[in-house]
Structure 1
């Protein structure tokens, strides 16, 4: 059987397994078994054990459960509730007013959670009822939350960046820092759209509330102190060279526990719930990574990645053409897979093409995170859409329609990142290459 025929068989089998509802990790491992059984005489079990152990035996992966646990702690305590009350007074004078709280709140929470779904759920649980009560357009409120929730993947610490760095042997710290400026760029794009929408749709905006004095706004801002301390402890320890990404994750968990306890919102119940939630999520991700590692090993035996790379290289695509094709590929893939699965499933095939085209792998990591962010808000498997469906009770396609403008803004962000690579590379080169 030729490489093309084998590829079609494996892709078809993978789609059938995914459509059947089987766990993604098991589907990936099953494809690896089939691929090896059809092409080589090497025992699949031996390759399975070696690849899974190699994928799991990584010190960098220790950061994963720690950052997940930190986000779970924040999700279940009052630290996130205080954020809305502290931000709201400062947004009153901007066109769009409290709609900006969704964007800024998601940006802040993203800096301490590392998860898109956790960011969307936490901020949405607080802001959506409040915005509805004050008469804001529900469609735009849902759209801003869905789009801004994806910042949990881009603004460090990011779980998916840890996965990408582990899969490609890149520096987690450099990737974290490379995501800062693109994250700010996305926040500015979102807030700019909200401001323009509000200026052209004044009839859909509620009446302005009574202005709050400067001193009262300062007083309200004191509620941001715990979250600010947490961000400073996590990101500051990495930027200052005091801790690695893994060590900073432990610092974050310790600070989240201490601050929650100090504010009186840490109980035995939410501590246990946060620990169990982090354990479940971490095990799911580790299982997917192990299955993907075996599939990567199996693909190496079949020669499919090498032949695919040679075929695409023979097409003579320019960098722009390759990026356009990859963007369309990831958007399509995002309709069926979650972000982490997309990264681990495609890395072994895509990275050789990217290196051959001359792209920087740190820059490409930020590009991948951006396009995976877009997949978080595309049906039928957009995680943020399901989170918002549970919060609002709206049909998932109705939520996707409200989110469409922010999907377009993410496409703009991808184009800007491709046109100006220094958006992602300037800060890490400044901090690490001095």
Structure 2
């Protein structure tokens, strides 16, 4: 009972601080200080210094700012324009035609960005005006972008997978490999739904889009995809092939991104400094959140909360599926108020003991939690990606939420699939890394 009261006090304190407009990182530190005071520990400064050092000196975290910088560099090139021009002729024969460009462009850009918001914003700037000008359903264009924009959280190199891997002490390389098939599964589900919608709603497609694309035009289009596909193969292939660690691959990715920017004549002194500043800002924000979460984890350890919660869960005799059902609801609700990384670092310390107690594989759980966080990013009415797309379109947030709802349900279906068929997640890491 004491542990329950303490947990409630800390949860209420955190909610009040977040509702008051405090930064997530400062809220976590504040609640950590409160937890240590309640535990009767007066070594707050020493423990904070220890927690800060432990949270910020992991070698695995080096990959984080490098992958962010790689995405920032490419964000300032003509990459998205080349993606659209390269994919458009190749997809003209599919039901839904250019609507599939949103899905595949987001999937490809996610593989070099690692950020959900950056993926949605970058691709949306290019595809939404073009699709509207050609007469495609605006609601479906917004929906495909909202759903596919979340792929930046899952498809490697995913920033959130790096954060989870450090927090849960799971190999980041194996997490990257595990995210490949679920990422392809989502792309397939999104494209399948788009094709079915197009067949049932032919009147919402442009009437003058049946022109034939010559083989020569398709080959020329493929050439526009070579740079980005080459960078993906370069970065992820080195990880999957066991040639580099994720950190080393991130460094190679930065070099590759700089080369692409230089080759496309988009690398100027201004764009270089802007990409560097953007990477520093994002990395510092995530780093502060990690420090705050680590400090709160330490405080909860002194109060015995994780151990007590794990014992409580074991006493309830919940099946793994029942536990996952409750956690899904928790993560989706939290995602209404926090970004994906904050959700992961905020809950890891409390959730992982329960997950381990239930015998759930932490590698599989990492992919599960990212999928659920993807859902939360387009959770009507306040998912983070919805606001990004609202800013792009100027539409009402409820309009964007309704457009994104089918893709929310598709991600939920993907969560069900990986729960019933965990091999979707574990097959590649088991067979490519030997266990």
Structure 1 length as normaliser, TM-score?
0.98
1:320 and 2:321 matched: yes
Work out whether residues 380 and 405 of structure 2, in 8 Å CA contact, stay in contact via their aligned partners in 1.
no
Other-structure match for 1:180:
180
The count of aligned residue pairs is 434
> In the TM superposition, what is the alpha-carbon distance from 1:380 to its structure 2 partner?
5.3
Other-structure match for 1:213:
214
What is the CA deviation profile of residues 356-397 of structure 1, one whole-angstrom value per residue up to 9, with x for unaligned ones?
Answer: 111111100000000011111124542211111111011222
CA distance in 2, matches of 1:104, 1:377: 18
What is the CA deviation profile of residues 62-85 of structure 1, one whole-angstrom value per residue up to 9, with x for unaligned ones?
Answer: 100000011111111112210100
Other-structure match for 1:26:
26
- Tell me the SS of whatever aligns to 2:211: coil
CA distance in 1, matches of 2:252, 2:391: 32
CA distance in 2, matches of 1:215, 1:238: 34
Work out whether residues 90 and 221 of structure 2, in 8 Å CA contact, stay in contact via their aligned partners in 1.
no
1:103-252 alignment runs, 5 A limit: 103-207=103-207, 208-252=209-253
Other-structure match for 2:379:
378
What is the CA deviation profile of residues 68-126 of structure 1, one whole-angstrom value per residue up to 9, with x for unaligned ones?
Answer: 01111111111221010000011111111100000001110011111101111111011
1:234-273 alignment runs, 5 A limit: 234-273=235-274
CA distance in 2, matches of 1:405, 1:51: 42
Other-structure match for 1:359:
360
Other-structure match for 1:50:
50
> In the TM superposition, what is the alpha-carbon distance from 1:253 to its structure 2 partner?
0.5
Range with bigger deviation, 323-332 or 413-422: 323-332
CA distance in 2, matches of 1:41, 1:271: 47
Q: Give structure 1 stretches of 5+ with no counterpart.
A: none
1:410 and 2:414 matched: no
Work out whether residues 338 and 381 of structure 1, in 8 Å CA contact, stay in contact via their aligned partners in 2.
no
1:40 and 2:37 matched: no
CA distance in 2, matches of 1:261, 1:80: 16
CA distance in 2, matches of 1:358, 1:183: 25
1:392 and 2:400 matched: no
Other-structure match for 1:83:
83
CA distance in 1, matches of 2:41, 2:217: 73
Work out whether residues 230 and 252 of structure 1, in 8 Å CA contact, stay in contact via their aligned partners in 2.
yes
Other-structure match for 2:63:
63
User: Which contiguous aligned blocks of 4+ residues in structure 1 show a shift greater than 6 angstroms?
Assistant: none
1:279 and 2:280 matched: yes
- Tell me the SS of whatever aligns to 1:51: helix
Q: Give structure 2 stretches of 5+ with no counterpart.
A: none
CA distance in 2, matches of 1:323, 1:337: 20
- Tell me the SS of whatever aligns to 1:97: coil
What's the C-alpha RMSD, in Å, of the aligned pairs? 1.1
Work out whether residues 86 and 224 of structure 1, in 8 Å CA contact, stay in contact via their aligned partners in 2.
yes
